[in-house]
Chain A
Amino acid sequence: MIRALTVTLALIAATPAAAEVEIQELTTPGGIDLWLVEDHSLPFVALEIRAQGGAALDPEGKRGAANLMTGLLEEGSGDMDAGEFQEAREALAATFEFGVYDDTLSISARMLTENRDEAVALLHQALTEPRFDEDAVERVRAQVLAGLDAAQRRPGTLASRRFFANAFPDAPYGSDSDGTVESVSGLTRDDLMQSFQDLLVTDRAYVGAVGDITPEEAEALIDELLEGVPESGPELGGHVDFAAPGGVDLVDFETPQSIAIFGHQGIGWDDPDYFAAIVLNQILGGDGFDTRLMQELREERGLTYGVGTSLYVFDNAEAIVGSFASANATMGEAVGVVKDVWADLAENGVTEAELEAAKTYMTGEYPLRFTGNDEIARIMVGMQMLDLPPDYVIERNSYIEAVTLEDVNRVAARLLQPEDLYFVVAGQPEGLEDNVVGPAEAEEDAAEEGDETAPAE
C-alpha cells in the first residue's frame, strides 16, 4: 500500500485571524491523490472532484458536447432512468452537482454518514455508467437550445460573447461552451459518450474531502468512486494571447441601460508578478466600495450601481476583464472615466495607503473563506490544480504581505495599457462611436457569460 501521509497543521494567517485547517495529504491504494480535512462535528462529508480539460476539449464542430454531456450525468445511469436515479438520490438525501467550465469538469457531493456507502455506490454508477437515453438527451438538448435562444435577448450575454470572441478567436475561450444552435442540434449520443470518456479521467483529476470521515474511509471511498474511470484523455490545448484591438465595439440593443465589458491581456498565476497583480486589481476594481473604479464611477458620479474587474486566468490564456452598466445617456462619460483611471494608475501608480488597505483586506479576508465543509473542499482542489502545497494556506498571506509599492507600480505600468483597452458596449449609448477595425465574429461563435457584480440589494 502506497500511502504517503503528510499532516500539515496550517495556521492560516496569524493576523488578523488564525484558523486551524489540518490538511492530510493522502494517496489511495488505487493511486489517487486526495486531500482530506477530518471534522466530525457534523454527520456528513463534502467531496469535490475536478478533472482538468473541461469544455476546452470539445472537438471541432462539436461545441457544446461537454455541456450537454455534463447535463446528462444526473439523467440516468446503470439500470436507472432519470426519474429512478433522482428518486434513489433523494431517498438518501445526498446532493450531487455536476458542472463543466472552460478548463474543468467538476463533481461536488454531500453525503450523510448514515448512508454514505449507498450514496457512494449511486454516484459511482453516475460516473461510470451514464445512459444518455434518447428521451433524456432530447429533453436536455431542448433546454440548452432554449437557453441559447434566450441568450440572444440578453444584452450582457451578447456583449460578453462579442468580447470573448474577439479576445480569443482561435481558442475554445472565444466561444460559448453551451455551443451554438447548429452544433448542439448536431450532437449525437456517440459524441456525448466520447466527451464523457475524454473529460472524466483520473490522471488529471484532483480530489478533496472534508467532514465526518477517517483517512482510511476516505481512501476507500475515493477508490470505490473512481473505479472504472479511464486513466487518461486527449491532449490539452496550447497557449493563446488576447487578440482584440483597443477601442470601442458597439452591439446595438434596445434597452434603457447599456452594459460594458472591457479588458485586455492579463497575467498568469505563475508569473513572478502575479501577487502584485492581484493586489493591483483589488485597488483598481476588486471587492468592496473602496476601489478606484467604484469611487470614480459610483461614489463620485453616481454613473453606475457597480463596477468591478477580475484577473481571468484560464489554463491557456489570461485577461484582465471588467464590467458595469450605466444609463445610455451616461455610458459615454463612464467609459471615459474608466480609461482615465486606467491611464492614471499605469502612469502614477497607487499610493502607499491604498496598498496597505488592499493588503490588510486581502490577508484578512482569506481565512474567512474557510467556513463550511464544501467551501474548504473546493479551496483544496483549487490549490491542487495550481500545484500548490498544503501549506500554501499558511504561506499565501505572506506572499501578499511581501508585495511592495514598487512591485505594484511596476506591474501597473506593465499590465495596464489604456490604449489596448477593448470595450464592448451593448445598448444604445450616447457619445460613443464604434471604432474597432475589422469585422466582429458572427454572434453564434461567441463566448461565455461575464461575472455579474451584485453588491448591496
Chain B
Amino acid sequence: MRQLALSLVAALALPAAAAQAQTDDVTTYTLDNGMDVVVIEDHRAPAVVHMVWYRAGSADEPPGLSGVAHFLEHLMFKATDSMEAGEFSTVVAANGGTDNAFTSYDYTAYFQRVAADRLELMMEMESDRMNNLRLTEEDIATERSVILEERNQRVDSNAGALAREQIMASQYLNHRYGQPVIGWRHEMEALTQEDALAWYDLYYSPNNAILVVAGDVEPEAVLALAEEHYGPIPAEPQLPERFRTEEPPQRAARRIIYADPRVGQDYLLRSYLAQERDSGAQEEAAALVYLEQILGGSSFTSLMARELSFDENIALFSGAGYGAMSLDDNTFSLTVAPAEGVTLSEAEAAMDGVITQFLEEGVDEEQFERIKTQLGAAEIYARDDVEGLARRYGAGLTQGLTIEDIEAWPDILQAVTPEDVMAAAEALFDIDSSVTAYVVADRQEALQ
C-alpha cells in the first residue's frame, strides 16, 4: 500500500503553525518549511526526549546502494560547519544526556534524553547537522569499517539474523523490504562519500522531517524554539514523492532451507504478506493484532501453545509475529521449534492443523475478551513510558499515518469483533502467498 509522504505541494500549502489541541497531552504543529512538530507533555520527571525522524529508510534507497541510509546515520555524528567530529555526542554527554540513532526500512531517527532545560541546546545541534554536515574521506573509510564490523557482529556472526535476511529476501520479490537495513556486504564495501552526501542532501530536509519532543515541556515554548532553530532551514524543493515498487501477486508458495552449524535450535517459520495499518483504514490491521495474539501471543494460552505444547508434545516453543506498523505491506508469521524427536515437517503439519482448526471452529469468546482487556490495559501501561509514546508518534508519522490515525488506534483495537478476526484470517492464510523457512544446524538430519 503505497503512501505518499509530504509532497512539495502539500508542504508549501500547509498553513503556518496551525495548532491543534489533541488528547493525551499531545499537541501538533507544522512549521512554514513543512517540518512537523509533535509535543507530548509528561511533567512527572524533569526530563525531555528530543527526536528528529526522517521519512527516509533503507527501503527508500536506490538499487545498488543498500546500507546507505544506515551509513549516513553513522556519519551524522561527524563534523559540521561549527562542530568537530564526535562533538555532538560529547556535548550531549557533558550535559548529562544520552543520545543515539536508529535506521529502519521506513525511517531514520535521532534522539537525545536530557534534562528539560537542555532542550534548546539539542535543537541547536540537531538543526545544525540537518543542513551543515561536513564529511572527509577519512570519516568515510573509518566509519565504513565500523558498519562492516556492525554487520559482522549483528548479522554474519548470528545464524538467526542470517536466516531472517534470507527469509525477507524470499518474501519480497520486488519491494525493498527484501534488502537488509544494514545492507549487503558487497554493496556496503563500495559505499562512497558521494553516495552518502546525495542521500543526505535529498532527504535531510525539514519538509521530510518530524520533530517529536516528549517530557516536561510546554507546547508553546517548544514551538517557539522549533521555529527559531528548525524554522530557518529551507525546504528541499527536489524532495521526491515517496515511491516504492510494489509486490506482484504471489502465485507459488516459496520454501527455503537455511543450514548453518551455528543454529542453536532448529525451527520453522511461516510468513504471509499481510496488510499493515493504513491511514484511515486500520481496521484489518487491528483484527490481525488479535489474530496474532490468539494464535501465538502467549506461551500458555494461545492456540499454538495449547495444541502444540500442552495437549501434545510437538513444540518446544511456538509463537506468532505481526508488524502492524510499516509504510507498505508487512508480514504475519508463525514459528515453531519442534520438541525432541519431532521433525520439522511433522511440526509444520501440526502448525497447519492449528490454522485449519481455527478457521473451522472460530474465535473462543473468553480468549477474545481477555486479549481485548489486555490491549486496553497496555494503553495505561504505555502512558508510563513517555519515550515509548514519542516513538509511537515518530514511527507512525514516518510510516504513512496521521496524528488522527495514531490517536484513533486504541479505540479501533477495542472495536474489533470476532467476525473481523475471522475475515482477516480467511484473507491471510493463503499458502500460495507464503514463505516457509526451515532453519537448521544440519541439513541432512533435519530433512530425514
B 81-125 to A, binary, CB cutoff 8 A, 1 in contact else 0: 000011001100111111011111000000001111110000000
Q: Tell whether, in the assembled complex, residue A456 and residue B142 are in contact, meaning their CB atoms are under 8 Å apart.
A: no
Contact B262 A363 (CB under 8 A): no
Q: Which A residue's beta carbon lies closest to that of B85?
A: A299
Stretch from B39-47, B221-229, B268-276, B420-428 that touches the partner = B39-47
Check if A367 sits within 8 Å of B47, measured CB to CB: yes
Q: Residue B156 at the A interface, CB < 8 A?
A: yes
Q: Does any Cβ of B come within 8 Å of A219's Cβ?
A: no
CB closest chain-B residue, reference A363: B96
Structural contact, A16 and B441, CB atoms closer than 8 A: no
B47→A255 contact, CB < 8 A: no
Contacts of A290 in B (CB 8 A): 86, 89-90, 93
> Do A257 and B153 form a contact, CB below 8 Å, given A91-B370, A154-B264, A357-B90?
yes
Q: Chain A's nearest CB lies how many Å from the CB of B1?
A: 25
Beta-carbon contact of B152 and A42 below 8 Å? no
Q: Which of A56-64, A143-151, A443-451 contacts B (4 or more CB under 8 A)?
A: A143-151
Interface residues of A in 239-273 (CB under 8 A from B): 254-257, 259
* B22 surroundings in chain A (CB, below 8 A): none
Q: Report the stretch among B246-254, B348-356, B383-391, B409-417 that lies at the interface.
A: B383-391
B337: interface (CB < 8 Å) = yes
Given contacts A288-B98, A360-B96, contact A368 B115 (CB under 8 A): yes
Taking CB atoms, residues of chain A closer than 8 Å to B148 are 327
Question: For the complex, what is the distance from the CA of A307 to the CA of B104, rounded to whole Å?
Answer: 23
Measured CA separation A92–B370 after assembly (Å): 8
Q: Among A93, A372, A374, point to the contact of B377 (Cβ < 8 A).
A: A93
A419 at the interface (CB under 8 A from B): no
Are B340 and A142 in contact, CB atoms less than 8 angstroms apart? Answer: yes
Convert B49-78 into 0s and 1s, putting 1 for each residue whose CB lies closer than 8 angstroms to a CB of A.
000000000000000000000100110010
Chain A residues, CB < 8 A from B298: 86, 90
- What residues of B have a CB within 8 angstroms of the CB of A17 in the complex? 45-47, 96, 115-117
Taking a contact as CB atoms closer than 8 A, the residue among B89, B94, B113, B366 that contacts A289 in the complex is B89
A-B contact count (CB 8 A): 209
Contact between chains at A83 and B153 (CB < 8 Å): no
Contact A112 B96 (CB under 8 A): no
Q: How large is the interface on B (under 10, 10 to 19, 20 to 34, 35 or more residues)?
A: 35 or more
Residue of B whose beta carbon sits closest to that of A156: B157
Q: Is the beta-carbon distance between B115 and A367 smaller than 8 angstroms?
A: yes
- Chain A interface residues toward B at CB < 8 A: 16-19, 39, 41-44, 46, 74-75, 82-83, 85-87, 90-93, 95, 110, 112, 135, 139, 142-143, 146-147, 149-155, 254-257, 259, 287-290, 298-306, 325-327, 357, 360-368, 370-374, 455-457
Q: List 24 A-B contacts (CB under 8 A).
A: A19-B46, A74-B300, A75-B300, A82-B300, A83-B300, A90-B301, A93-B376, A146-B337, A147-B265, A152-B264, A257-B149, A289-B89, A302-B142, A303-B145, A305-B152, A305-B153, A325-B152, A327-B152, A361-B96, A363-B96, A364-B97, A368-B96, A368-B114, A455-B100
List 14 other contacts, CB 8 Å, given A42-B380, A305-B150. A17-B117, A44-B381, A91-B370, A93-B374, A146-B337, A153-B262, A154-B264, A256-B157, A290-B93, A299-B85, A362-B96, A367-B115, A371-B44, A457-B101
Chain B residues in contact with chain A, CB under 8 A? Answer: 44-47, 70, 73-74, 77, 85-86, 89-90, 93-98, 100-104, 113-118, 141-150, 152-154, 156-157, 159, 181, 261-265, 298, 300-301, 306, 309-310, 313, 316-317, 337, 339-340, 366, 369-371, 373-374, 376-378, 380-381, 383-387, 441
